[in-house]
Amino acid sequence: MADQTAPTLDAITIGRSCVDLYSDQIGCRMEDTRSFSKYVGGCPTNIAVGAARLGLKVAVISRVGDDQLGRFVRETLDAEGVSTEALGSDPKRLTAMAFLGIEDDRSFPLLFARTDCADAALCEDDIDPGFIARARAVVVTGTHFSKPHLAAASHKAMAAARAAGRKVVFDIDYRPNLWGLAGAGEGDIRFVSDSAVTARVQEILPHCDVVVGTDEEVSIAGGAGDTREALRAIRARTDALIVLKTGPKGCLVFPGPIPEDLEDGVSSEGFPVEVFNVLGAGDGFMAGFLRGYLRDLPLEECCRIANACGALAVSRHGCAPSYPTWEELQVFFERGIVTPRLREDDWLEHVHWTTTRGPQWNDVCALAADHRVQLEAMADEAGVPRARISAFKSLCLDALLAARRDGVTLGTLLDSRYGRDALFRAEREGVWIGRPVEVPTSRPLRFEGLPSLGAELQSWPPDHVVKCLVYHNANDPEEMRRTQMDQLHRLASAARKARLEFLVEVIGTDRNAGETATADALRQIYAEGIRPDWWKLPDQTTRGWHAIEQVVRTEDPWCRGVLLLGLDAPIEVMEESLSRAAASPVVRGFAVGRTVFAAAARDWLAGTISDDEARRRLTTRFARLVDIWVEARQARAVA
């Protein structure tokens, strides 16, 4: 009897869950690859990520190892909004891996490392019929029918879904070498004819509501080399909706008898884009189709969404990370194809980045301790080695952590010259972290570290925000303006390549500038196509904040927002500044330094106060700023 309880999930996907290691070098053999980027992978896991990005509520049933890679998979899925309550941790097996390459536009090497891996140990005990009944549909994938215990688990899930009146969606997902039909190193072989596999797949078909596959996958399911003949063989065994993926052309859907001319199937026009990487495109397609199918949209619209998701997937590096969000998809539909190389459409890539980078940070209260020149001057004045600055920055971090409270995101700005030890500790504490890259006081802007900023950022942790201070006025001479903008372009490009957020701190040097000078400077930077994730700005008048808000909302509605800086203002002045800034919805918090630490730093470096006294003074002043910010935000909420 069908379960009458309303589903709380749209879909549950079952099967492979692994780590994809994607070659960073494009156009070479995998043997010659020097480095890899790490993503989540596995057909059902990819589908789950893609579907969640499109607004569906999705869960995964699989296993990962109780290891670092398994925790990476779990944490990534959690961040993507995919339920992991049925993702088991296997203490005896390691998380599966797949190595993937992009040799050219036709060759995509694929190497599976799956010997006795965690997801291949899934069994019937992992399937809870009550959990299955919570979803509108269960998605099973072909690879997980290749072993008896895996097949038993998937069949149990299908039976539970049908008993509860839910849909069963079957992605044929044919990988010959995972069925033992090709060598261990031949993961890129897409088709090997085998009557035994055909027989196993055909046992699945009668229990499905939707069957999805490529030409090769339809051939193995139908047991025929001719696509139409194979489709007719599938139709003879199931009344399911059959979806044939046709690559660049999109897809054809057959809700009933297979027509003489396959082009008479339901379809939607494909998207003519340049293929960069086909790996994982089918999983993105499936996610798109599910978004339409589980929202009861017309089949033509299901196809359009699926085709668009596939087009975006083949245009980017990686599988799951290449899939669009629903918001991004609407932008794609509205703008159309600006360039066949979608990854070179700057605005579309910006929307993709901003809608997949993670949740919004609010009420960021940061202690800025990235100062170098100022603290060096204090150390020199006190006659102590500059190496002492490192210990003081650790005291600043102590003060920051002592100010923890509910509803507030603690943050810090720390440099790697004197703040290295504190940076390591801040990373473990999970606070918001910004790191400077500019040469202090440089104008025009110059960068610290390696001559290549991109190479410098490759070693940074993924949650560190690249912070850059630029002294800039909208009315600067053209030569100065051009040099500054060229450097900011370098910054933006390097940060995006390293998949890091970046923050631009803008301080004007024109004392006669008007109330909207900062807004004018931001507008000029936006006009260059530079779109920081964050801004860090000095205090403004109410009119100035309103002008900034208008610029940010107009130029980049996905900007994370503004952090207020302090410029060594007395704490009484900062109280007024924070109250004024808190009234602006575009301001997300503050990052203040010398207002908090300047006096304590001088006394501590001079040896007139102890570590404990320095911590006490730092904590007291920083906590006061946090209190002021929280009270100002609460007052705004009431107003």
159: pLDDT confidence band, cut at 50, 70 and 90? very high
Q: What is the mean pLDDT of residues 54-77?
A: 98
Indicate if the pLDDT at residue 1 is higher than 60.
Answer: no
Percent of the chain exceeding pLDDT 70 equals 99
Tens of pLDDT, residues 76-113: 999 999 999 999 999 999 999 999 999 988 899 999 99
Query: What is the DSSP secondary structure assignment for residue 465, as one 8-state letter?
Result: E
Q: What is the DSSP string of 364-409?
A: EEEEE----HHHHHHHHHHT--TTHHHHHHHHHHHHHHHT--TT-E
Q: What is the mean pLDDT of residues 442-455?
A: 93
pLDDT of residue 183: 86
How are the residues of the chain apportioned to helix, strand and coil, as percentages rounded to the nearest 5? 45, 20, 35
Handedness of CA 24, 28, 30, 35 (dihedral sign): negative
CB-based contact 109:100 (threshold 8 Å): yes
Tens of pLDDT, residues 7-33: 999 999 999 999 999 999 999 999 999
**Cα atoms found within 13 Å of the Cα of residue 67, Cβ hemisphere only:** 16
Distance CA 392, CA 614 (A): 9
Give strand pairing partners of 210: 169, 241
CB-based contact 177:136 (threshold 8 Å): no
474: pLDDT confidence band, cut at 50, 70 and 90? very high
Distance CA 144, CA 126 (A): 13
Distance CA 201, CA 383 (A): 79
Element spanning 563, H or E: strand 561-565
- Closest by CA to 322, choosing from 291, 292, 285, is 285
5: pLDDT confidence band, cut at 50, 70 and 90? confident
Q: How far, in Å, are 32, 101, 103, 279, 544 from residue 27 at the CA level?
A: 10, 9, 4, 15, 50
Best CATH choice for the domain 363-638 from the list 1.10.10.2120, 3.20.20.70, 3.50.50.100, 2.40.50.140 = 3.20.20.70
Indicate if the pLDDT at residue 295 is higher than 60.
Answer: yes
Distance CA 88, CA 74 (A): 10
Indicate if the pLDDT at residue 637 is higher than 90.
Answer: no
- Closest by CA to 100, choosing from 314, 280, 275, is 280
247: pLDDT confidence band, cut at 50, 70 and 90? confident
- The owner of tokens 């999983």 is 283
Distance CA 398, CA 619 (A): 8
Strands (DSSP E) contained in 55-165 are: 58-65, 87-90, 96-100, 110-113, 135-141
pLDDT of residue 105: 83
Indicate if the pLDDT at residue 638 is higher than 80.
Answer: no
2: pLDDT confidence band, cut at 50, 70 and 90? low
pLDDT of residue 639: 62
Mean pLDDT of the chain: 95
- Residue 279, phi then psi, degrees to nearest 5: -65, 125
Query: What is the DSSP secondary structure assignment for residue 438, as one 8-state letter?
Result: B
pLDDT of residue 187: 81
CB-based contact 23:32 (threshold 8 Å): no
Q: Output b/e per residue, 72-89; b: 16+ Cβ within 10 A.
A: bbbebbeebbbbbebbbb
Indicate if the pLDDT at residue 395 is higher than 60.
Answer: yes
pLDDT of residue 245: 95
- Residue 132, phi then psi, degrees to nearest 5: -55, -40
**DSSP-derived pairing of the beta strands 167-171 and 135-141:** parallel
Residues 6+ apart with CB under 8 A from 137: 10, 11, 12, 161, 166, 167, 168, 169, 209, 290, 293, 294
Q: How far, in Å, are 42, 226, 612 from residue 20 at the CA level?
A: 8, 33, 48
Element spanning 590, H or E: strand 587-592
- Residue 112, phi then psi, degrees to nearest 5: -90, 130
pLDDT of residue 286: 98
Tens of pLDDT, residues 499-554: 999 999 999 998 888 899 999 999 999 999 999 999 999 999 999 999 999 999 99
> Looking at the chain, which residues constitute the CATH 3.20.20.70 domain(s)?
363-638
**Cα 264-268-271 angle, rounded to 5 deg:** 130
Amino acid identity for residue 397 in this structure: L
Q: What is the DSSP string of 202-249?
A: HHHGGG-SEEEE-HHHHHHHHT-SSHHHHHHHHHTT--SEEEEE-GGG
Distance CA 366, CA 374 (A): 18
Question: What are the helix and strand counts (H, E) for the chain?
Answer: 21, 21
Q: Is 21 exposed, middle or buried (0-12, 13-18, 19+ CB in 10 A)?
A: buried
Q: Please count the residues of the chain.
A: 639
**DSSP-derived pairing of the beta strands 364-368 and 58-65:** unpaired
Element spanning 434, H or E: strand 432-436
pLDDT of residue 510: 85
Tens of pLDDT, residues 558-616: 999 999 999 989 999 999 999 999 999 999 999 999 999 999 999 999 999 999 999 99
Best CATH choice for the domain 9-18+43-92+117-174+191-320 from the list 3.40.1280.10, 3.40.1190.20, 3.40.718.10, 3.30.1330.30 = 3.40.1190.20
> Looking at the chain, which residues constitute the CATH 3.40.1190.20 domain(s)?
9-18+43-92+117-174+191-320
Element spanning 38, H or E: strand 36-41
**Cα 384-390-391 angle, rounded to 5 deg:** 80
Distance CA 475, CA 412 (A): 32
Distance CA 291, CA 287 (A): 6
